A and B are shown apart, each in its own frame.
Chain A
Amino acid sequence: MEEKIRITIDGREVTANPEQTILEAARENGIFIPTLCQYADTTNVGACRVCVVEVEKARTLVASCCMPVSAGMVVRTDTKAVRDAQRMIVELLWASGDHNCLVCEKNGNCELQDLVYWLGIEKPRFPIESPGYEIEKTNSMIVRDLNKCVLCGRCVRACNEIQVNEVLDFSLRGSRAKVGPAFDSDYIASECYFCGECVDACPVGAITFAQARFGGRPWELEKVRTTCTYCGVGCQLDLNINKGKIVKVTGNRDYGPPNQGSLCIKGRFAMDFVQHPDRLQRPLIRKNGELTEATWEEAYDLIARNLSAIKEEHGPDSIAGFASARCTNEENYLFQKFMRAVIGTNNVDHCARL
């Protein structure tokens, strides 16, 4: 293991690993440096310059997310020059887009809004000139409003480096630069797999969940952590609940394994079934050939009577049970216990083979 080195941040002497950046060392020691484009587990690109700091003997302010520490380095995160630079950057970002919090889904959970507030900016000193892009609403899952994009590139890196779907990139240059799929197409016409990683990665309201639009403000949503119901990866996810309904599904990188916050289209966008009107709500019993609604008591009675009669006449091995790879461990345990201890047969299996 390499030797730790000593550096000074805001007058405090701290230790750091030689391969760490200034930002990492600061965070590890509880010193706050604001960021926007920085996104864990992806390349540090230093695109937004919000994380600038002063380093003694450096020619200019440096982006702390990209600058490695070195022995004896003296860093200041809170000087006037740093704050002036941060204000300039944030005011330019604000002025170059349509950052209207009144109608933005990210209001209350927006990193640009947080920066404006933290820096105490009343209004930008430049005229606001939104690029006037059409809002992309051509699919039912993801809405893109590039007028709110701050070109941090987090969606591009999430798509290429985390999900490795390699769909998003930058196109054009200068003030016309934008993010998106190849040939400036919309998501639905592209190769996009709709994993939604870009939505979770977006710090502002440029990429949002279509079905969650007007479904609840960030502070109204209750997040319930659970395990995805689809494939065997067992992704940990947050069901976002408002007034008893699932509004959207978000990943949470703090949950760690197995998915580190990543999801796929099914876990992300295929939860409509939970609240579908076709869900069974009451037991059904076949009467005169038709399935008709019944009470639980009637249903239980009918099952007990019929299965007991079959067991009586043909023996317990004339009854078979399908457990389910969809149900919980506890339920499968009880199901096989029921078949073995109550019915008295080992005829229990499930679709592991299918």
Chain B
Amino acid sequence: MTNSIEEIEHTDLILAIGTNTTENHPVIGAKVKKAVRSHGAKLIVIDPRDIALTGYADIWLRQRPGTDVAVLNGLMQIIISEDLYDRDYVAARTEGFAELKKTVARYTPEYVEKISGVKAEDLGRAARMYATAGKAAILYCMGMTQHVSGTDNVKSIANLAMLCGKVGIEGGGVNPLRGQNNVQGACDMGALPDVFTAYQKVAVAEQREKFSRAWGVPLPAKPGLTVVEMMHGATEGTIRGMYIMGENPMLSDPDLSHVESALRKLDFLVVQDIFLTETAKLAHVVLPSACFAEKEGTFTNTERRVQRVRKAVSAPGEARADWEIITGLANRFGYPMQYAGPAQIMEEINSLTPSYGGITCSRIEKEGIQWPCPSPDHPGTKFLHGDKFTRGLGLFHAIDYREPAELPDDEYPLLLTTGRVLYHYHTGTMTRLAKGTSERCPESLVEINPQDADRIGIESGKMVVVSSRRGRVTAKAAVTSRSPEGVVFMNFHFREAAVNLLTNPALDPIAKIPEYKVCAVRVEAA
């Protein structure tokens, strides 16, 4: 997030696009609702599904899944043509406006309505409301990113926010809401194929040499493979060995049949986890690890706040903390890794990571610090891009709408979109073991619009078969107008109805994120 969670409550307008935040980050969802109910903030929701937040919204734009660039360009077209944009901000802080203006000019409300189904009149109201609000925060999530146009979607959001001068101010910004406890931290720590910590590039000699000196070995310059590319590599035989720490690609990755055959082809697979997951069952060696309540360390939340994790109970049996397992393994390879504990590892991180330079364990004992925090006397950073952008001027990207990779046709006439529900988390490894959450949500449901259900001849509570070009699953139908006509929604928490057997592994060309939010399916009574 460019800004902070607490700012959401006190801003003038919230634009939530592609985020079902009341279910995925309920405490942030509560702040959005509180901003509306208690502080009079305006709320615009842009989402194909009738999520809980639409009940609090001043305006709800219900676009067809995958048409977000058209909608965002449409908003900008109106804002520019009605001269509602922030001329001073655009002139002083950005570049590329002329190209943007030229591209979005084609996205008239009528044209956008044709692509997205959003009524021209509603688009105009939303554009005016956003542009004329004092402070306005955009919240987004996987509904934006899990598309082949994911990068385009995010750039379009940034375009809109910069156009109206709403980045670099308190209560504003472009705010991705992170779905996993430490996905921000894992990225910050360089658990990515092209960067070391704090996004220092492996391909840049100077940065590589810095790490090479600190670690005492020469380091490879060629960026590595992303998750989905690793699976392709395993299938093709270029990847022979794999070490998986605390992930369950056998439920979370797209096109699962392919993932399973890829993992089975490996010469050697090591899985380190707290349970014998679907992935661990395929391993040659399984290492038992301690969970969050059994170890010390830090997580970095969605607003860049680094916070302490503390040991409350002992790990079961001989299970060890992941950091202990890694150091043990490194030592076995003849590379010495000696740390007294996570605090000492953090010291090494501090020394190599400019944005974490001043975030020491003792400083965050009581309250977490938000990076960038370059030195021990720096207070941390509540919102980013205050005076200037990281690259200097904010760059507008002129972007055209592109269709999703697979759209419904005669054979697979419905569009499947996927996500989480409030009561479960990711692949369900943890939440499905809890009595309470399972009581509230014991099984996977296929949310389908009443019109479609009528046509197919199915009703709530009856089992249905959902099939795509890649696979088929059986689950219970929930007939509901939460889903628009032509769209079905499923969650990915249940291995019994593993929705990723159906999803399309088509990737965004830059971010390499799979298009979980759109694929074509057929639904039939089971």
Contact = CB atoms under 8 A, between A and B. Distances in A.
B27 A232 contact: no
Nearest to B231: A320
A137 interface: no
A330 B345 contact: yes
Contact of B182 (A246, A317, A325): A325
A262 interface: yes
B354 interface: no
A258 B181 CA distance: 13
B216, B253, B288, B307 interface centre (most CB from chain A within 10 Å): B307
A327 interface: yes
B188 interface: yes
Contact of B245 (A139, A258, A324): A324
A263 B436 CA distance: 15
Contact of B185 (A255, A311, A329): A329
A308 B285 contact: no
Interface string A110-145: 000000000000000000000000000001110000
A195 B26 contact: yes
A165 B32 CA distance: 12
Of listed A231, A235, A264, residue having the most chain B CB within 10 A: A231
Contact of A256 (B291, B346, B367): B367
Contacts of A263: 27
A322 B247 contact: yes
Nearest to A314: B240
Contact of A271 (B177, B191, B434): B434
Contact of B288 (A279, A306, A339): A279
B102 to A, nearest CB: 31
B181 A353 contact: no
Interface in B205-258: 211, 215-217, 219-220, 222-228, 230, 233-234, 238-247, 249, 252-253
Contact of A346 (B184, B224, B243, B511): B224
Interface string A323-354: 11111111111111111111011111111111
B188 A274 contact: no
A139 to B, nearest CB: 6
Interface in A229-286: 229-236, 239, 241, 244-246, 255-259, 262-266, 269-276, 278-286
A286 B281 CA distance: 10
B98 interface: no
A350 B284 CA distance: 20
A328 B291 CA distance: 10
Interface stretch (A46-54, A58-66, A70-78, A296-304): A296-304
Interface in B256-286: 267-268, 270, 273-276, 280-281, 283-286
B224 A320 contact: yes
Given A328-B295, A353-B511, A257 B191 contact: no
B504 to A, nearest CB: 14
A234 B305 contact: yes
A327 B286 contact: no
Contacts of B133: none
Nearest to A277: B316
A318 B240 contact: yes
B180 interface: yes
A231 B241 CA distance: 30
Nearest to A334: B326
Contacts of B240: 310, 313-314, 318-319
B92 interface: no
A246 B311 CA distance: 12
In terms of DSSP, what is the predominant structure of the interface of chain A? mixed
A257 B430 CA distance: 25
A322 B284 contact: no
Interface in B334-361: 335, 337, 342, 345-346, 348-349
Interface string A156-182: 000001111100000000000000000
Contacts of A102: none
A232 B241 contact: no
A274 B325 CA distance: 19
Given A270-B434, A281-B318, A321-B242, A351 B252 contact: yes
Q: How large is the interface on B (under 10, 10 to 19, 20 to 34, 35 or more residues)?
A: 35 or more
A255 B181 CA distance: 18
A319 B239 CA distance: 6
B225 A332 contact: no
Contacts of B181: 227-232, 234, 325-326
Given A163-B30, A270-B425, A348 B192 contact: yes
Nearest to B26: A264
Contacts of B431: 266, 270, 273
Given A280-B319, A303-B329, A321-B244, A232 B274 contact: no
Contacts of B24: 231
Given A337-B215, A344-B220, A262 B335 contact: no
B422 interface: yes
A273 B187 contact: no
B514 A353 contact: yes
Given A161-B38, A233-B5, A270-B430, A265 B182 contact: no
B27 A348 contact: no
B309 A227 contact: yes
A322 B433 contact: no
B303 interface: yes
Contacts of A161: 34, 37-38
B286 A284 contact: yes
A322 B308 CA distance: 23
B474 interface: no
A257 to B, nearest CB: 6
B439 A139 contact: yes
B375 interface: no
11 contacts: A161-B34, A227-B292, A239-B312, A274-B291, A296-B318, A300-B332, A321-B244, A322-B244, A339-B243, A342-B329, A353-B228
Interface of B: 4-6, 24-28, 30, 33-34, 37-38, 145-146, 177-194, 196-197, 202, 211, 215-217, 219-220, 222-228, 230, 233-234, 238-247, 249, 252-253, 267-268, 270, 273-276, 280-281, 283-289, 291-295, 297-303, 305-314, 316-323, 326-330, 332-333, 335, 337, 342, 345-346, 348-349, 367-368, 422-425, 429-431, 433-437, 439-440, 511-514, 516
Kindly list the 5 A-B residue pairs having the minimum CB-CB distance in the complex, ordered from nearest.
A281-B317, A234-B301, A232-B178, A328-B297, A346-B224
